[in-house]
Amino acid sequence: MARAKGRGAIDLERTAVAAIDGASRRGIPDARAVVERSRSVSVTYRLGRPEKVEESARRGLTLVLYDGGRYSVCETNDLREEALERFLDSAAALVRATTPDPFREITDPALYAGRLERDLGTHDPSIAALTPTERHDLAARAEAAALAEAGAEAVAAEAGFEDEEGELFQAHSNGFAAGRKGTRFGLYADVSLADAGDKRPSDSEFASTRSFAALPAPEEIGRGAARRARGKLGAAPMETATLPIIVESRAVGRLLGKLLAALGGRALQQEQSFLAGALGTVVGSPVLDVVDDPLLAGGAASRLFDAEGISARPMPVFARGVLEGNYLDTYYAKKLARRPTTGTWSNVVVTPGGKCAEELMRGVERGLLVRGFVGGNSNPTTGDFSLGVFGTLIENGAPGRAVAEMNIAGNHKELWKRLIAAGNDPWPYGSIRSPSLLFDAVQLSGSGAG
């Protein structure tokens, strides 16, 4: 399939600078502009043929205006010159309609300093050479492998390949100007199997990488999906009890993300964080060692600067259980009378331990290997959480039957102190890069009264 050609291709830098100039001409002293563009193609296979082929080309301008404490954020995807003039008029009118907030200021230019000039391995030029045939082939091979591995119990399988290339340019009225580009390649497979009654347990395997070469073989993805689905056959709840759990590496992000939610500037300043004032105190066991690393080579969220133009540098978040880092953007840092760090996570890297997941399991007499979460919630104000889980029973140090319809509950203030080991198996495909984690004594609810 031919890609739609870049009709009316926009010059990102020129558009960003024009937006800043346009704001300035309208009397707005400070502004930040980001102009982005991306293209992606996705091919989905089912029953051995293409189910869906989608192509997309996106673009957009985000303009942030600061006028004596007045603040507005305006976005548009209509980048024609005459439309931009009208957009700037209404953006300027909007910011003037708001009330001044003494804490709203554009990024301190001192924070632009020290930006590294380094190739973070986020862009793979080989994307330009990908052909429609190759894309179809990758999706088809993943689906075929999934079906072959699933065998007679397969009731449905689907697989897909997606590639995306994006770039942006960011300009600020007080001296910041920089751009970046990136690529992403993704493969996935979903498999559903026939099970007792009407149940058709399904699971997926997926990978997402910055370079095409780093992607696993599609057969590995397809077979992985079938094996994971097989691991859910015959699933049933286990007893309500307090037991050790191992959270599989791929699933850790959902749990750790809840802890990180309490470290954002807004939550901290608005007293909606149980970790307000906890900097320098013990939050977890010494196993809890986490660094926010924007400079990770080939990382899903690697960057040299953040949305506010702040130069990226690694930030310890937890060092041997002690809270060391908060995510503070300019606004909330000012409200908290602190120095800004960055307002958004980059790559959240959990320090691995020495044991593989099987070895972690060996020390557990009875417990649950959590392979995924189903809904639930975590309250960042109090730290209370209650989350639906599924996975595999651990009996005498080995995996047993499939478990579903279970829940774990507790408070983050206690949970992370019960983290007793980290595996050596970090999941490499997301912005949260964690190995499997073993926790002691977690409240599980399932069948029967507590």
The residues in 205-224 that bind another protein, with binding defined as CB under 8 A, are none
Count CB-CB contacts under 10 A for residue 361: 23
Residue 373 Cβ vs another protein, minimum distance, rounded to whole Å: 8
User: Rounded distance, CA 72 to CA 98, Å?
Assistant: 8
Count CB-CB contacts under 10 A for residue 417: 18
Applying CB under 8 A, the site for another protein has a residue count of 87
- 240 lines the binding site for another protein (CB under 8 A): yes
3-state secondary structure of 297: coil
Stretch near another protein under the rule CB under 8 A, chosen from 53-61, 181-189, 314-322, 356-364 = 53-61
Sign of the CA dihedral running 129, 131, 135, 137: negative
Q: 134-138, long-range: CB within 8 Å, 24+ apart, which pairs? A: 135/41, 135/43, 135/161, 135/163, 136/43, 136/45, 136/50, 138/43, 138/187, 138/218
- 277 lines the binding site for another protein (CB under 8 A): no
What does each C-alpha distance from 268 to 107, 263, 284, 328 come to in angstroms? 20, 7, 18, 9
Residue 109 Cβ vs another protein, minimum distance, rounded to whole Å: 22
Residue 49 or 113: the one with the smaller Cβ distance to another protein is 49
- 449 lines the binding site for another protein (CB under 8 A): yes
Binding mask 132-171 for another protein (x = CB under 8 A): -----------------------xx-x-------------
Name the H helices within 98-170: 132-150
Stretch near another protein under the rule CB under 8 A, chosen from 177-185, 270-278, 308-316, 427-435 = 270-278
User: Rounded distance, CA 359 to CA 224, Å?
Assistant: 21
Residue 50 or 314: the one with the smaller Cβ distance to another protein is 50
| 260 CB-near residues (< 8 Å, 6+ apart) | 317, 327, 345, 348
- 57 lines the binding site for another protein (CB under 8 A): yes
For the chain, report the end-to-end CA distance as a whole number of angstroms.
Answer: 58
Max CA separation in the chain (angstroms): 72
Residue 303 Cβ vs another protein, minimum distance, rounded to whole Å: 22
Residue 97 or 152: the one with the smaller Cβ distance to another protein is 97
Among 179, 376, 397, 428, which residue sits at the site for another protein (rule: CB under 8 A)?
A: 376
- 444 lines the binding site for another protein (CB under 8 A): yes
Among 23, 38, 71, 315, which residue sits at the site for another protein (rule: CB under 8 A)?
A: 71
The residues in 73-112 that bind another protein, with binding defined as CB under 8 A, are 73-78, 87, 90-91, 94-95, 97-99, 101, 103-104
Stretch near another protein under the rule CB under 8 A, chosen from 71-79, 257-265, 320-328, 344-352 = 71-79
The residues in 413-432 that bind another protein, with binding defined as CB under 8 A, are none
Tokens linked to 298: 């080939």
Residue 413 Cβ vs another protein, minimum distance, rounded to whole Å: 13
